[in-house]
Amino acid sequence: MNAKTLDLNLTEQRQVRQRRRVGYLYLALIAIGLVAPWVAYPVFLMKLLCFGLFACSFNLLLGYTGLLSFGHAAFLAMGGYCTGYLMSEHSGIGPELAILAGTLAAAAVGAVFGAIAIRRQGIYFAMITLALSQMLYFLFLKSPFTGGEDGLHGISRGKLLGVIDLSDNLAMYYFVLAITVAGFALVLRVVHSPFGQILKAIRENEPRATSLGYDVNRYKWLAFVISSAIAGLAGSTKAIVFQLATLTDAHWHMSGEVVLMTLLGGVGTLLGPFAGAGIVVSLQHVLSQSPLGTWGAPILGCIFVICVLCFRSGVVGWLKLLVTRNFR
């Protein structure tokens, strides 16, 4: 056996060990998720899961395709309003069908937005998405089916499959956990598929991907639609959990928050968005109950600056680098 063959075998063995460790990590996280509502307040945990899934959808666009959207809140709100309206006005529709409808509505809006914005790059792409998002915000503000400034309140949680009463927070939590795991599994599949490899190639060097014969705009548009659908899934789930859908979800502040969550956790890492969402949501919860409640935004801004300066790859990116150095 020559040296080259030996190196290849060692590399394969290292990759197998790494995949095994990642698999164990995912199983451990699912196990923690299963017992978490017995330790912490289920509604707070559901909020973490919903925003984690929202950040995960944004990370698919920024971290793996290289597209910075400043209007991602539009899809969160579209999913929430569509699901909330169906659950409020049509009692015969179950939560599973309402969430599916909200997800599809967000994907449809994403398809239109993507077709308009995808031909531009960099700051121009970001500004177009922001402008389109604000147009949708004012549509929600003026439309009668959204409740205008009041929003939709008292949205029924309904019964899952007509049997399981989701008014019970514990049952609702496990339903949200299942949705989050399914959404994350979809992102995981996309990232590790040939399609995901092409997205990474576009992110790294778009002219080279074009020269290899790939229809770059079509791949970016598909990534935009998938990201929009997952954001809509998060918004639909969130509307049922909190039984309301308001303009807050459509505001540009929400688009800024998801950027903050993703950067804090780690752009281009699978678990980074969930870590970032956990940090931001937990800090908001703690600060809202403290005398520093009015200083929430400046404190989050300072934390963001510190993380950017000290952990440029985000919290999860830094931990991943640390583990890689110690367990090669």
pLDDT single digits (tens) 172-230: 999 999 999 999 999 999 998 889 899 988 888 888 888 888 888 899 999 999 999 99
- Rounded to 5°, the CA angle 237-238-242 comes to 120
The SS3 assignment for 267 reads coil
Residue 213 Cα distances to 35, 204, 206, 209, angstroms: 49, 16, 11, 7
Residue bearing tokens 């899952």:
160
Q: What is the dihedral of CA 229, 232, 238, 239, to 10 degrees?
A: -140
As a whole number of angstroms, the distance between CA 11 and CA 129 comes to 42
As a whole number of angstroms, the distance between CA 52 and CA 234 comes to 8
Helix 272-288 and helix 42-65: axis angle, to 10°? Answer: 140
In a domain? residue 215: yes
pLDDT at 326 > cutoff 80: no
Q: What pLDDT, on a 0 to 100 scale, did the predictor assign at position 292? A: 64
Number of domain units in the chain? 1
Residue bearing tokens 């509307």:
239
Predicted confidence band of residue 2 (pLDDT cuts 50, 70, 90): low
Of 301, 203, 314, nearest in space to 256 by CA: 301
As a whole number of angstroms, the distance between CA 230 and CA 10 comes to 38
Q: What pLDDT, on a 0 to 100 scale, did the predictor assign at position 107? A: 94
Helix 314-326 and helix 272-288: axis angle, to 10°? Answer: 130
Strand locations in 126-253, DSSP E?
152-153, 159-160, 164-165, 244-245
End-to-end CA distance of the chain: 23
In a domain? residue 259: no
Look up residue 169 and give its amino acid.
Answer: N
Residues 6+ apart with CB under 8 A from 28: none
In a domain? residue 93: yes
In a domain? residue 45: yes
In a domain? residue 267: no
CB 307 within 8 A of CB 315: yes
Predicted confidence band of residue 104 (pLDDT cuts 50, 70, 90): very high
Predicted confidence band of residue 12 (pLDDT cuts 50, 70, 90): low
Q: What pLDDT, on a 0 to 100 scale, did the predictor assign at position 179? A: 93
Mean pLDDT score of the chain: 83
Q: What pLDDT, on a 0 to 100 scale, did the predictor assign at position 29? A: 86
Residues 6+ apart with CB under 8 A from 300: 260, 280, 283, 284
Q: What is the helix (H) or strand (E) element at residue 153, kind and residue range?
A: strand 152-153
In a domain? residue 296: no
Domain that holds residue 131: 41-251
Condensed to tens digits (0 to 9), the pLDDT of residues 254-278 reads: 888 888 888 888 888 888 888 888 8
As a whole number of angstroms, the distance between CA 227 and CA 57 comes to 5
Number of Cβ within a 10 Å radius of residue 111 = 15
As a whole number of angstroms, the distance between CA 38 and CA 170 comes to 9
As a whole number of angstroms, the distance between CA 302 and CA 260 comes to 12
List the structure tokens of 298: 């400046």
In a domain? residue 303: no
215 versus 162: which is more confidently predicted? 215
CB 220 within 8 A of CB 119: no
Query: Residue range 317-324: average pLDDT?
Result: 71
In a domain? residue 288: no
pLDDT at 295 > cutoff 70: no
pLDDT at 301 > cutoff 80: no
